Amino acid sequence: MISILFATYAIVFGAEVVGDKTIYTLGSLATRYRILPIFCGCTVAFALKMLAAVLLGKAISQLPVAFVATLSAVTFFTMALVIWFNKTEETLISIHSRSWRGVALASFASIFFSEWGDVGQIAAATLAARYQSLPVVWLGAVLAMMTKAILAMTLGAGLGRRVPRKILRYATSGICAVMGFLAAFRID
């Protein structure tokens, strides 16, 4: 059982770390907001997405590409617009004045409503189908996603301390817009 947990962790983490857009999403959020609500929001999203993966097995990879691409694109474009027009981050106080729940919900939404049927979910679904150990595969997959989140938020928080807020706002908005275009055209 422990070997299944470690195998799931390694496979999902490896699949998710290489070229995954979630890293940029979480890193961007961490440049602007507190880490704990981001972590809590994304953890719930990861847990639910991986639960869907292990319960639905390979069927999740059969979701219509157009539906997944549209939902991901709308999420990223919405985030880009919100970040672009939210100019209150010019002072350090604004980072801490954002409501905990609001930041957690933004983190949850940015993760939960994008990238369904990605390589990490497909890997978790395949492992669940192969080993028939749904709780262990789910736990390994969620732990892998949380590790990825910690790495992305650490990078983002470091940038947030070293780069002027105005530049980060434009860069973050641009990254979200690019991810929206990539999602719309399903370029991975």
Supply the pLDDT for residue 59: 65
Supply the pLDDT for residue 19: 56
Alpha-helix runs per DSSP H in the chain: 2-17, 22-32, 35-56, 65-85, 92-97, 100-112, 119-131, 134-162, 165-185
Supply the pLDDT for residue 64: 75
Supply the pLDDT for residue 94: 45
Supply the pLDDT for residue 122: 79
Q: For the chain, how many residues are written?
A: 188
Give me the residues of the chain with pLDDT under 50, please: 88-96, 188
Supply the pLDDT for residue 48: 95
Residue 1, CB-side half-sphere exposure with 13 Å CA sphere: 6
Alpha-helix runs per DSSP H in 113-164: 119-131, 134-162
Supply the pLDDT for residue 17: 67
Supply the pLDDT for residue 91: 36
- Do 120 and 143 meet the contact criterion of CB atoms below 8 Å apart? no
- Do 42 and 26 meet the contact criterion of CB atoms below 8 Å apart? yes
| pTM, to two decimals | 0.70
Sign of the CA dihedral with 63 first, then 142, 177, and 85 last: positive
